[in-house]
Amino acid sequence: MRPITARLKNYAILGRLPMSPLTISVPILSTYAIGEVRPSLTMWVGLIGLGLTTHLFGFALNDLIDHPVDRTHPSRQQHPLTTGQLSRREAWLFTLLQIPLAFGFFLLCLSPNVLAVAVLLASLLCSITYDVWSKWGRLPRLIPEVALAASVALLGMSTMLAHTAHPPTPAVLWAVILGMGLLLLNSVSSGLKDLKTDLAYGARSFVIALGTRVEGEDGLWIPSALRRYSFILQMVVLIGTAYLWWAFQPPLLLWILSLILSLYGALHLRMLLTL
């Protein structure tokens, strides 16, 4: 493999590029959610670029901060930060570059107002809050999880505000429900996935703070507080999605995405309750 191709592949791994369509869909679907805009080619470039750069920033920063823990996990032994194919300096430069690129796409292609820019900045700050404090520090463990959910909801809101100063109520509710769905899926399933490694390294994730622990080789003990938390969030997402569909008749694309997220969350909850 040629050096330039190998380097690009390493950056793609660092930024979790295969998962980027999910984040890219947030500004795109948020634009369609307001029901008044038909994106031009320039706008499409801005929406895709904004989603891609914010995705790369959040995931690359998370890998950099969590690398001391992640490098001990068997599945992370081929990660470019672990193998040395990417130095930490190179990874930091790549990560920080995404910030001006995100604002560049936003400002040049979407012509947002000051409020929209401020909301995008708040979205990035929420993403940083999660990456820095989700497993470390003295903040209550739920705050970083809420911050990550807020970062996605605010990303959608920033796109809406770039088009209109007063986004319609169903569009705002859709962004909130999307954030709630992410809160459920990330705070629980991601925490359970990393539980053994986090416990071994002394990290304190949300599920660990609630008392989740390993039993035997592959068993987990799930506290009742985590079960209640998962159930309540799942009900909020399901009821909120149903209300949006019943009261506002959102565009079909938004309905399909919300349904998929809800079903995914329901399957996750079923898995959790049977552990």
To the nearest 10°, report the CA torsion of 144, 149, 152, 157.
-110
Output the domain CATH number for residue 254: 1.10.357.140
Residues making up the chain, counted from first to last: 275
For residue 272, the model assigns a pLDDT of 46
- Number of structural domains in the chain: 1
Give the list of residues 6+ apart from residue 235 with CB closer than 8 angstroms, or none.
Answer: none
Cα-based distances in Å from 71 to 58, 62, 79, 181, 226: 18, 13, 8, 28, 27
Give the list of residues 6+ apart from residue 162 with CB closer than 8 angstroms, or none.
Answer: 106, 110, 111, 112, 113, 116
Domain region containing 7: 3-273
For residue 274, the model assigns a pLDDT of 46
* pLDDT profile of the chain (275 residues), mean per 10: 79 89 89 82 95 96 84 71 88 97 95 94 97 84 93 96 90 90 85 78 84 79 90 89 76 64 56 46
For residue 275, the model assigns a pLDDT of 44
E strands, 143-241, where? 213-215, 219-221
Name the nearest CA neighbour of 233 among 187, 200, 202.
187
SS3 137: coil
Name the nearest CA neighbour of 234 among 268, 204, 200, 211.
268
- Contact of 220 with 275, CB cutoff 8 Å: yes
For residue 67, the model assigns a pLDDT of 83
SS3 content of the chain, % helix, strand, coil (to 5): 80, 0, 20
pLDDT in tens, 212-266: 888 877 778 889 999 999 999 989 988 988 887 777 776 666 666 666 655 655 5
Q: Can you say how many angstroms the Cα of residue 100 is from the centroid of all Cα atoms in its chain? A: 19
Cα-based distances in Å from 10 to 6, 13, 83, 166: 6, 5, 11, 41
For residue 273, the model assigns a pLDDT of 45
